Amino acid sequence: MGNEAHFYLEKLVLCILESSKTALNDCRKRLIEQFGVIDFESEPFEFTFSDYYNNEMGTPIRRMFLSFEKLIKPEYFAQIKTKTNQLETLFAESKKRKINLDPGLLNQSRFILASTKDSSHRIPLADGIFAEITLMFEKKTFRPVEWTYIDYKSPHYIEILNKIRGIYREQVKAGEHIRV
């Protein structure tokens, strides 16, 4: 029989789609209030992988990534997704989102995304929130799995997430990723 292990603290990453710089700036302030100091922020770049969000959000749509200095307990992941959903609603105009916030958890071996959509490869967490392993770290880089969204398979996204993993590794070396 195995014994229950304690989790290690992990890195919160927010993957943001935005079609309003004003909403993004206001939302960014709220994210800092909720999650603390940002330790990585990518430049916004055009989101061209899909037109799925165009009708709701308008165009152009830009993608950016943020990560936060304070490491988090993985068991809070569902609550974080619920909070980001509330922020999306807060910054919506006429019930259409201007911001799409996808929280992720990153550690040395994987990158996980939260979702409100069930699927065979998603694990229920709490309160209608699911998690999926989106990328696994193998052979010195993140690698997609069968169900990874096409944009997360891109070299640009993987490069960004590898940089964030580097920040996390430094935190691990400094002893910040303690068991909780």
Summarised one tens digit per residue, pLDDT across range 30-41 is 999 999 999 999
Q: What are the pLDDT digits (tens) for 80-138?
A: 999 999 999 999 999 999 999 999 999 999 999 999 898 999 998 999 999 999 999 99
- For residue 3, the model assigns a pLDDT of 84
pLDDT at 179 over 70: no
Q: Coil, strand, or helix at residue 134? A: strand
Angstrom distance (rounded) from CA 89 to CA 178: 34
- For residue 180, the model assigns a pLDDT of 60
Burial tier of 92 (Cβ tally within 10 Å: 0-12, 13-18, 19+): middle
Burial tier of 62 (Cβ tally within 10 Å: 0-12, 13-18, 19+): middle
pLDDT at 71 over 70: yes
Mean pLDDT over 158-175 rounds to: 96
User: What percent of the chain has pLDDT above 90?
Assistant: 89
Q: What are the pLDDT digits (tens) for 7-27?
A: 899 999 999 999 999 999 999
Q: Write down the mean pLDDT value for the chain.
A: 95
pLDDT at 177 over 80: no
Mean pLDDT over 68-86 rounds to: 96
- For residue 94, the model assigns a pLDDT of 93
Mean pLDDT over 43-65 rounds to: 96
Amino acid at 166: G
Mean pLDDT over 46-53 rounds to: 94
pTM of the complete model: 0.94
